[in-house]
Amino acid sequence: MKFLDLKIGMSDSITKTITARDVDLFAEISMDRNPVHIDEEYASKTMFKKRIAHGILVTGLISAVLGTKIPGEGAIYMAQELKFMAPVFLDDTITAKVEVIELIPEKNRVIVSTICTNQDGKIVISGKATLLQKN
């Protein structure tokens, strides 16, 4: 989508179930092997009582929306503010939604709100991103 096609209020989303395989692969790729993510016995003794997904793994869903839907192909991710509001457990279904909240035409900048919710509608991540979008 070109910058000129974007309008404040436009939004889109994707939904994915976060599996044990996703978390294990992310731990391998990122080298973040914190046992709360990969060791069920360890995680059972934490405040979460079971394994949780890496927060950054879940935020990858936001990146997927930004790169494929709004603003879409050619978007360059410049900044992201994040607040981790609640844990994401294995087999939670997460919806990542972005909404255009500001357009800066002189710099082709797009500001979007970014929200991830679980299958119960609970916000697990909230934030705001800045992107550069092609003409």
On the question of pLDDT at 71 being above 90, the answer is yes
pLDDT bucket at 111, cuts 50 / 70 / 90: very high
- The pLDDT of residue 132 is 95
- The pLDDT of residue 112 is 98
Determine the average pLDDT of the residues in 105-112: 95
Mean model confidence pLDDT for the chain: 96
Residue 113: which of 5, 2, 13, 4 has the closest Cα? Answer: 13
Domain residue spans of the chain: 3-132
Residue 66: which of 54, 74, 58 has the closest Cα? Answer: 74
**Cα Rg of the chain (Å, integer):** 16
Residue keyed to tokens 């979008």: 133
Q: How far apart are CA 105 and CA 107, in angstroms?
A: 5
Determine the average pLDDT of the residues in 70-89: 95
pLDDT per position as a tens digit, 22-62: 999 999 999 999 999 999 999 999 999 999 999 999 999 99
On the question of pLDDT at 135 being above 80, the answer is no
Determine the average pLDDT of the residues in 63-75: 93
Q: In the chain, where do the E strands start and end?
A: 11-17, 76-84, 93-104, 109-117, 123-132
Q: How far apart are CA 23 and CA 2, in angstroms?
A: 34
Domain 3-132 has CATH 3.10.129.10: yes
pTM: 0.93
